Structure 1
Amino acid sequence: MMSALSTVSEFVGYDQTPSNAVSITVNGYQISGWNRVSIRMGVDIMPWTAMLETTLYQPDQQVSVDIPAGAACVLSIGGDTVLTGYVQSVSEELTPQEHVYRVAIASKSVDLVECSAEFSTYQMNNTTALGIAQQVCKPFGVAVSAVGGAGDIQIQQFSVILTETAYEVIERVCRLAGCIFYDQPDGSIVLSPVGTTVVSGGVRQGVNMERMVSLSSLEGRFSDVQAIIQNPAILFTPPADGDKLSQQMHAQTAPAEASASDPGVTRHRPLLIPVELGDADYSIARKRVQWEVARRYGRSQATEVTVSSWRDTSGALWRPNALIPLTRASSTRTDLLLGEIELVQGEDGTHANMVLMPSSAFVPEPLVLPAEQNEATAAVSRD
C-alpha cells in the first residue's frame, strides 16, 4: 500500500533541516507515502484530527499494509511527533480511474469528548482543578499536566453530573480555574494560561504569507455591559412615570458597581448580565463585565492566513496557543494568538492555514467557585 520509511534522511532532510515527511506508526509499521494530508489542531478543538490519503497499492514497493480501525497510532512530521491517538476510520474509494485509501485519525482525547465520566465518587472536596482533570482522564489513559500555574486553584467542593462527558467536566473545572486546556502531541492534555510562548519569525507579508483574510465585525458586541442583581419584581410593573424606571434600574445595578463599555460600538446596544449567587462582594461580576467586552471584541477580530511552511524560522512546528507576530508590508506588527491551524499537503505543495485572534478571545469566563455558591444558598435558606 505505502512505503515504510527506510532512511534517516527522510526524517531530517538531506540538508539536515527538519523534514515535512508525514508518517504514522501503527501495529509496528511506520508508514509514509501519503498523497494528501490534512492535520487539524487548535485551542478550541478537541480531539485533534488528521486525514491521510493515498492509493491502496504502490507497484514499486510490492507491499500492502493493513491499518485496522481502532488501532493505536502515532503521527509524525519528520522527527517530530504531532498526534498520538487512534485510527478512527478507514475507507476505500473505487473508481475506474483510481483506488483511494483514506485513514482518519483522532488524538487520545476523543474518548474524553465522546464517553461519560467515571468516578469512584461524584463529589470531590478540597482538591485542585488539575487534580480533578487528572482523575477524570485516568480511566481513559490520558495524562494531564499544567504549565504556568494553571489548575493550581483550590476547589472546596465540586460535583460531577452523572451524564456529563469527561470533556464537559474538564471544561467546567477549567473555567473555574481561569485556564484553557488542549491536546498535546504525546496524547496527553495540558492546562495552560492563554498565550504562553511567542514563536520565532512569525508571519510576514511578502516573506512566508501566501494569503490573508481579516475580519472586523460588530456582531455580538455591545456598547455597555452591566451586571444586575436579580429580583423577581424587576420590570414586571410598568412605572407610573419615566423616572421610576431609571430609579428601579439604579437600585438593581448600583450595589455591584460592575459595568464595562466597548468604545468600538457607537450606537446604543446594552447587555445586562446577572450577578451570580455566591458573589457576595461582586468581584466576579466586575471581572465578568470586563470579560464580556474583551472576549466579544477578540472573537470579532479574526485573521485567517495561509503560510508556505509548517515551521517557524527556528524549525519548530507551529503550535496552538502560541503568539504569532503578524507583520504587514507596512512593517506594522501585531501579536495574535494561534487558535486553530490546519497543516495540509497535496499536489499544490505544503501549506499551513491559521486562524489568529487577539488573546482576549480565548480567556475563560470568570465563575464563582462552587463552595461559595453553596454557602450563599445555605445563608438564603437560613434567612
Structure 2
Amino acid sequence: MKESANLNEVSILVDGQVYKGWKSARIECGIEQISRAFALSVTDDFPGNESFRRLRPGQEVQLFIGNDVVCTGYITSTPIRYDAKSVSVQVQGKSKTVDLVDCCSPWAAIAPSGKAAGQKSDSWQDVKGVKETVKPVQPAKTVNKSWHNQTAKQIIADLCAPYDIKVVCEVKDLNAKLVNFTVNPGEKVFESINRLLTKENLIVTDNAYGDLVITEPGFAGKCTDFLEVGKNILSGSANFDFSQRYSKYVVLGQHKGSDLEFGKKVCQDQGISEDRGVPRHRLFVLKDTGQSSNAIASNRAEFENNLRRAKCKISSHRAQGWRQLSGDLWRMNSEVVIEDNILMMKESQLVYKVTYSLDSSGSFTDIESLPKDGYSRKGYSNKTATNGKKDSLKDSWKDVK
C-alpha cells in the first residue's frame, strides 16, 4: 500500500511504480454497474512524458485517492493524442469484475487450463486487499456445468473463480437451495449471475478491491454530511421522468408439478402489484424464468413496481471535493440526507452512483440518489397511497373540455 501526504491526490500503482500528476480524472462507481471505471489524462509539452507512455492495456492497476483504494483492476486502453505543441496521454481502466461482464463462463465449454477451479493465481499477491469484515465465499475445487442443491452464493463463487475474482456476500439470508442450475453455452458470466439472483432482488456490484459484492441497499452506512442547497451543493438536477412507470405490474411464471399440484396450479403462477400513483391504465407484463410460484411472482411484481417508482425520482447533486468533513470519501450504496428546496426534497436518499471528477476547475463529486426504498426487498412504503391519494398526478380528465 502506497502512502500519500495529499488526501486528494489521484495516483495509480502499476508494476510497483506510482504514476501521479494527472491533470484530469473521472472515476465512476454505481450500484447498478458491476465494474467501476476510470479515465485519467495528462498533457505535457512535446515530446511528452515517456514514463506515462510506458503504460499498456492489460496491466494490473490499483487507483488511489490519497491513501484510499478506489479501484483494483486492469488498464483497458491508453489513447494518445498529439499536435505540434503537446502530447495528451490518457489511461482508462476498469475493475477486475469487467471480465464477468465481457467473458463467458468456461464451465459451459472448457475447464480452466493450468489450474483447478477456484485456485487463485499469484499475479495479485503484492496488491493490498480489503480488511475482510465479511468472509469471501470459497469456490468449489471441481469443475461443474450444473449444480444441484447448492446455494446461489456458492454457485456464483464457482462462476467467478476462473477469473480470480472473490465473491463477498453481505446478505445474511441468501441460503436458499437451488434444485438445478446450468450455465447456458455462450452465456456471459454476469448473465448467469443475473439469472441466479433475479428472484432474490439483490444488488450485485463491485468494491474497491475488484471483488464481486452481493449486497443490500444502504449497506455502506450513513453519510456524516448532509447535502444542502446553499451550503455544499453546487448544482442539482432531476428529470422526474414517469415514462417507465405503470399502473399495474403482472409477473407470470410456472413451476414443476407434483402428485398434489398439477395442471393450472403449476402453469399459471401470477403476481400483481399496483401503483396508485399512476392514474391511467398502463400495464406491464413480465415473464418469470425458471421455477416460480405465486409468492415469487408477487415479490417480483412488487420489486419492479418499487424500483420504477424510485427511479423516476433520481436526482443528481454536485458537491465540491471528494470527501465529507469527516475525511471519508462520498460512497455509493450509502444513505445521505438531502435538503433541496428547489427540487422539493428533504429526506434520506440512497446513493445510487458517485462520480469523482478532476479538471482545471477543481475536484467535484457528482452524487446520484433515489428513494432508499427503491431496492427494498420488503416493499416500497408509500405514505401518500395509504390514505387513497394519488401522488403528484391528476386524478382524472374531469376538468378537460
Tell me if both proteins adopt one fold, taking TM over 0.5 as the criterion.
yes
CA deviation after TM superposition for structure 1 residue 359, in Å = 3.1
Residue 201 of structure 1, aligned match among 225, 231, 250 = 225
Structure 2 unaligned regions, length at least 5: 108-142, 255-263, 380-401
Residue 274 of structure 2, aligned match among 230, 243, 261 = 261
Relative to structure 1, the CA distance from residue 292 to residue 99 in structure 2 (aligned partners, 3 Å threshold; closer, same or farther) is: same
CA deviation after TM superposition for structure 1 residue 191, in Å = 0.8
Q: Percent identity, please.
A: 23
| Pair 1:47 & 2:59 matched | no
TM-score, normalisation: structure 1: 0.78
Contact 1:224–1:269 (8 Å) recurs in 2 = yes
- Residue in structure 2 matched with residue 297 of structure 1 by the alignment: 309
- Residue in structure 1 matched with residue 199 of structure 2 by the alignment: 176
Residue 353 of structure 1, aligned match among 363, 366, 370 = 366
Relative to structure 1, the CA distance from residue 365 to residue 157 in structure 2 (aligned partners, 3 Å threshold; closer, same or farther) is: farther
Contact 1:94–1:100 (8 Å) recurs in 2 = yes
Relative to structure 1, the CA distance from residue 286 to residue 347 in structure 2 (aligned partners, 3 Å threshold; closer, same or farther) is: same
Whole-Å separation in 2 of the counterparts to 1:272 and 1:176 = 16
Root-mean-square deviation over aligned CA pairs: 3.1
- Residue in structure 2 matched with residue 242 of structure 1 by the alignment: none
Whole-Å separation in 2 of the counterparts to 1:277 and 1:90 = 42
- Residue in structure 1 matched with residue 239 of structure 2 by the alignment: 215
| Pair 1:334 & 2:347 matched | yes
Contact 2:252–2:287 (8 Å) recurs in 1 = yes
Relative to structure 1, the CA distance from residue 188 to residue 57 in structure 2 (aligned partners, 3 Å threshold; closer, same or farther) is: farther
SS at match of 2:106: coil
Relative to structure 1, the CA distance from residue 271 to residue 165 in structure 2 (aligned partners, 3 Å threshold; closer, same or farther) is: closer
Per-residue CA shift, 1:75-107, capped at 9, x if unaligned? 000000000011111121111232101011111
CA deviation after TM superposition for structure 1 residue 277, in Å = 7.3
1:28-177 equivalent positions in 2, closer than 5 A? 28-56=16-44, 66-119=54-107, 120-149=143-172, 151-177=174-200
How many residue pairs get aligned? The number is 330
SS at match of 1:198: coil
SS at match of 1:312: coil
1:269 aligned partner, one-letter code: R
Whole-Å separation in 1 of the counterparts to 2:279 and 2:322 = 41
Contact 1:295–1:362 (8 Å) recurs in 2 = yes
Whole-Å separation in 2 of the counterparts to 1:364 and 1:74 = 34
CA deviation after TM superposition for structure 1 residue 27, in Å = 1.6
Whole-Å separation in 2 of the counterparts to 1:335 and 1:306 = 17
Whole-Å separation in 2 of the counterparts to 1:212 and 1:171 = 32
Whole-Å separation in 1 of the counterparts to 2:290 and 2:56 = 51
CA deviation after TM superposition for structure 1 residue 325, in Å = 1.4
TM-score, normalisation: structure 2: 0.74
SS at match of 1:55: strand
Contact 1:226–1:289 (8 Å) recurs in 2 = yes
- Residue in structure 1 matched with residue 332 of structure 2 by the alignment: 320
Contact 1:208–1:309 (8 Å) recurs in 2 = no
CA deviation after TM superposition for structure 1 residue 134, in Å = 0.9
CA deviation after TM superposition for structure 1 residue 256, in Å = 6.9
CA deviation after TM superposition for structure 1 residue 336, in Å = 1.5
Contact 1:150–1:177 (8 Å) recurs in 2 = no
Contact 1:150–1:179 (8 Å) recurs in 2 = no
- Residue in structure 2 matched with residue 188 of structure 1 by the alignment: 211
Per-residue CA shift, 1:217-271, capped at 9, x if unaligned? 32122223345689xxxxxxxxxxxxxxxxxxxx99xx97843321221122234
- Residue in structure 1 matched with residue 261 of structure 2 by the alignment: none
Whole-Å separation in 2 of the counterparts to 1:112 and 1:286 = 30
Q: Greater Rg, structure 1 or structure 2? A: 1
SS at match of 1:47: coil
Relative to structure 1, the CA distance from residue 156 to residue 329 in structure 2 (aligned partners, 3 Å threshold; closer, same or farther) is: same
Relative to structure 1, the CA distance from residue 209 to residue 58 in structure 2 (aligned partners, 3 Å threshold; closer, same or farther) is: farther
Whole-Å separation in 1 of the counterparts to 2:97 and 2:67 = 23
